[in-house]
Chain A
Amino acid sequence: MLIGIDVGGTTTDAVLIRNGKVCSTAKVSTEPGNLMNSLLEALDAISRDVDPEQLERVVFSTTVITNLIAEGKTDRVALVLIPGPGINPASYTYPDSFFLKGAMDYRGREIHPLDEAEIRKTVGLIRESGFSRAAIINKFGQRNPFHELRIEEIFREIYPECKLELGHKVSGKLNFPRRIATAMLTSATRGHYIEFVEKIKKSLEERNIRAPVYILKADGGTLPVEKSIEFPVETIFSGPAASTIGALALTPEGQTSVVVDIGGTTTDLALILSGKPLMASKGAKLGGFLTHVRAFAVRSIAVGGDSVVRVKDSDTGTKQITIGPYRAGPAYCMGGKETTPTDALKFLGLIEVGNPESAGEAIKAMASALGKSETETASLIVDKVAQRIADAVNEMFFEWEQEPAYRVWEVLQEKEARPENVVGIGGGAKGLIAEIAKKLDAKPVIPEYAEVGNAIGAAVARPTLTLNLHIDTEQKVYSVAEEGEIVSLNTTNFGNFNKIRLDEAEAMAAELLRERAENFGISEYADEAEVVNSEVFNVVNGWYTTGRLFDVNMQIPAGLIPEWKRRENV
């Protein structure tokens, strides 16, 4: 049996899945100050009549890190930065930054040495200023971490208690400012996150649950909870990821869908293209900082079932309807004070919940202000909300089509997808899905269990993993961005480095990914790995080729565990 729990902003949803089928569901309201309580409450509700021995897998998606950052409850971190030439580091807006001399270039060659005396002075200053955490980030540190490692040594020597984060261990991708932010947030949240994980482990022990426990990440993949301590920030935005995987699980394989989760004041959107959730081309934005955290391409728009509807005079003197962005409590037909899209839906008979008489009153008031019939008015409100959402969907498709291309084949590749389905996930404003689908010329889909689609997504998500291999045959080294070590090519089986072929580099990446998957305890998914991009460049000096640079990017993409897929085949 599988358990999936999504701790959301207002409710915490849970499902129990047996033999690939939803067995039971639960919904409790989230206590903003105590996510752990809500999580355990949902867990207890769902597992009440279940023998803990029968549980095979428990997956949580939680906003704990998002909340910590939003509430400013993170730890202070001293940022030790080695920016080298480029943008003036004075333009960075990171707090508590200490800049050091030294520089690496794009090939990982040292272009300016460190100044040991300056480092010692800085470490002393960090200690005196009362920082107990520091993050050390070097521009191009992922191409050569020597400077970061040397500074770490000096810390160990004169301030050993300081907890350290090294940029090249946090992300191997290009983008120094994002690496700074990611390292900073990782360091700032790790302490609290460890406490959270300890509490979870203890609570599960108390309940005799010994099944493996996973955390859902923003890229829709699961990570064993012990392993997640290394990457706390990857657990952000797992809510939308859970909904998207849920939609994937509840719609036919291989289709293109828009996932719409209509809440009280906001609507979350995600895209599934030919059965693959669309990833954001760059990392997520968190606490105002751009990071390297992989996430689905999700969009939140400020319109929902409880958005306040008003009639206003336009510039041309005609009356106009405005929707949102505010909420003034629940819909009128649910006992609230203001007219909302929910009232319009109720008036038109598109939803079941709510009091029909009060919906009528709410629409009547609008209609007389607008000078239109009640049905016209209600339709206008629904149409306007649906249009806003459909416009946002079109924008998402357009942005995907317009993602930059750096190769001839990428420009020639025609990105033209239109949604086949509009999938409603979550409990809100179901009546709108059909209207949105009409505008997008797609099929409206409200799957069974849509209201706990997020928890289903958590329960059936499979692990994801990335591996970025970089080989420089001129310098006779290779590195795996995610591991942060520069390794001599002499340790590999390659004979003549200058004769390495791209397919051999890809095979090496696949083998390294297999090892990494084993290390993560997810080796059974290694076969799902795919090459995202691989390329080779000659290094030419004068008119001679003196080496080659390989880049192979592999991933185990987001998807469903076979236990769920099995059900589809039945």
Chain B
Amino acid sequence: MKLGLGRLRDVLKTGSGSGEGEKKQVEGKNKAEKEEMQTINEENKPEISERNEGNTMELRKAGLESKKEPLSPADRTGADKTGLIFFPAFDWAISPTHPEREERLLYTRDQIFEEGLMDLPEIAEYKPRLAEYRDIARVHFCVPDIKAQATTPHLIAAGSCLVLGDALMKAEVKNAFALIRPPGHHAMTVAHGNRGFCNINNEAILVEYLRKKYGIRRIAIVDTDVHHGDGTQEIFYNDPDVLFISFHQDGRTLYPGTGFINELGGPKALGRTINIPLPPGTPDEGILYVLDTLVLPILKDFKPELVLNSAGQDNHYTDPLANMRFSAQGYAKLNEKLAPDMAVLEGGYAIQSALPYVNTGIILAMAGLDYSCVREPDFKPGMFVQAARDRKTLEEVVAAQLENWKNRDRLVESEVAKHGDFYRRKKQIFYDTDMIQEFQEETIRMCPDCQGYKTIDSHAHRSGDDTRIFGVSIPIYACKNCQAEAREEYRKSLNHPEYEYVYLQDKKEDEYRAYNTRTKQEIAY
């Protein structure tokens, strides 16, 4: 593999002598911390026995990283490589004939290896690593715990995004593509189980990691999967610093049945969620039209520090789970025009007829190479033409969303005026893979100084088993008052026996806790 200079320098620093000893020491310290049980007694506070939990391998690998002051992103103007992690998880499946199974990226492997893409001087291949539990806790309330929702393959998929995120921030690469599975864009803040093949949200984990580690703030996520990226939308719904744009096959005709144009974001983040439902059968020209007339102008206006492509490949004309008519050429052009800093693979289940070609096209496009000869065996230019009626539908959607975008600050103003100190909404969430029905009440503090903290009261029904949890989430850029109020909220909730688990997610402090009200044990991640 080709290494960026920064990484080599890191190695040389720690490769021998003192560095090695330091590493061992950190390892020892973590072990000690793990075994330490704390009992704290305070007013109004139940007895808590605390322990620290992490996946030990990662603690060891990442143990050297400083967790205090954020680093700053390096200048990427001199970087000329595309970072790539290909993690096909050849030894993992949801079940043997499930679309999310071992050989999903097998033919993609064959194609990109036979093309010799990994040998190109424009490509730097990286090795995956496991994400730490705290990286997951920064985004999710995992029920009952992280271990149950994020298995090893999930940690590797998320960890791969973090490796590339670091490479990007250290300017070892100009952009990056995480060609990984399992996917994540249907996973929401509360994770009771698997939804739409996803348990944990790779993009969200990456965003919060980069914000914490490198101090960046404004990020745009463009979800190009055929399914509405409802998980990512939910996670950032109230965050005005994250612009979430998703185009997808109209929710009236496809899972998960959401992503309509009136889903515009929470009161203080209206217009920062932009949905573009596409009529079934939309070909390249339709998607590129939306990109040119809506997505790119909004991005230009938003001026994000980072653009992510939540890159599903199930818009393809041969995908078995959807009904669109996008081609490999279309995907390559999309990535060339969008020029995301990083793309993360989501869905795409035409594993023979689409994925080998689509992935080759995306890699070439991101590396700035000629992709004009990448095409599916049966593809003929001009084979799909958009119906006039569908084009008109798209034009209306684009016009409406441009209007919403233009008026976003006014929309926020009038919406905020309608609410007092708190904004509440009730939601129902269905987990198709695990057959769970979840009822949620989400409460946002309508703070004048920041986006406000959030609490979630979630009740999950599955056959023969009900779980109710309560979670408190403090945004990384929350004000001090919100932080104090939210932490108090957490403390009070520990006494409520109606919840089995109570969670604290303090992104400002980078502190994550989960409390089991039955065993009275608190885990700190």
Contact = CB atoms under 8 A, between A and B. Distances in A.
Interface of A: 83, 85-91, 103, 105-107, 111-112, 139-140, 174-178, 281-282, 290, 390-391, 394-395, 397-399, 401-409, 411-412, 414, 418, 439-441, 535, 537-540, 542-545, 549
B115 A87 contact: yes
A88 B16 CA distance: 44
B103 A178 contact: no
Contacts, number: 158
Given A405-B127, A538-B96, A545-B96, A282 B364 contact: no
A86 B374 contact: yes
Contact of B115 (A86, A90, A281, A538): A86
Contact size class for B?
35 or more
Interface stretch (B105-113, B221-229, B254-262, B484-492): B105-113
Given A404-B126, A538-B102, A176 B16 contact: no
A545 B97 contact: yes
A112 B101 contact: no
A106 B16 contact: no
A176 B115 contact: yes
Contacts of B78: none
Contact of A411 (B156, B370, B371, B376): B156
Contacts of A107: 107, 352
A418 to B, nearest CB: 8
Interface stretch (B81-89, B135-143, B207-215, B417-425): B81-89
A112 B377 CA distance: 8
Contacts of A403: 1, 127
18 contacts: A85-B357, A85-B374, A86-B114, A86-B115, A90-B370, A139-B114, A397-B15, A398-B15, A399-B1, A401-B127, A409-B91, A439-B17, A440-B16, A537-B102, A537-B103, A538-B96, A540-B101, A545-B97
B90 A535 contact: yes
Contacts of B125: 404
B304 interface: no
Interface string B12-33: 1001110010000000000000
A399 B130 CA distance: 18
B384 interface: no
Contact of B57 (A139, A394, A399, A414): A414
Given A87-B370, A543-B97, A176 B116 contact: yes
B375 interface: yes
A86 B15 contact: no
Contact of B11 (A83, A85, A398): A398
B305 to A, nearest CB: 28
B28 to A, nearest CB: 16
Given A404-B125, A407-B90, A544 B373 contact: no
Nearest to A441: B16
B152 A412 contact: yes
A439 B369 CA distance: 43
Contacts of A549: 103, 106
A401 B109 CA distance: 21
Contacts of B118: 404
Chain A's interface: helix, strand, loop or mixed, by majority?
mixed
Nearest to A536: B102
A404 B97 contact: no
B280 interface: no
Contacts of A418: 20
Contacts of A112: 377
Between A89, A106, A412, the greatest number of chain B beta carbons within 10 A of the residue's beta carbon is seen for: A106
Given A402-B1, A404-B1, A86 B119 contact: no
A89 B373 contact: yes
A405 B16 contact: no
A425 B132 CA distance: 44
Nearest to A90: B370
A90 B376 CA distance: 19
Contacts of A441: 16-17
Nearest 3 A/B pairs, CB to CB:
A394-B15, A106-B110, A111-B377
Contact of B356 (A106, A178, A535): A106
Between A105, A107, A401, A403, the greatest number of chain B beta carbons within 10 A of the residue's beta carbon is seen for: A105
A383 B89 CA distance: 45
Between B90, B118, B129, the greatest number of chain A beta carbons within 10 A of the residue's beta carbon is seen for: B90
Nearest to A391: B12
B193 interface: no
Nearest to B23: A416
B360 interface: yes
Given A399-B3, A545-B96, A439 B16 contact: yes
A405 B87 contact: yes
Nearest to B107: A106
B3 A402 contact: yes
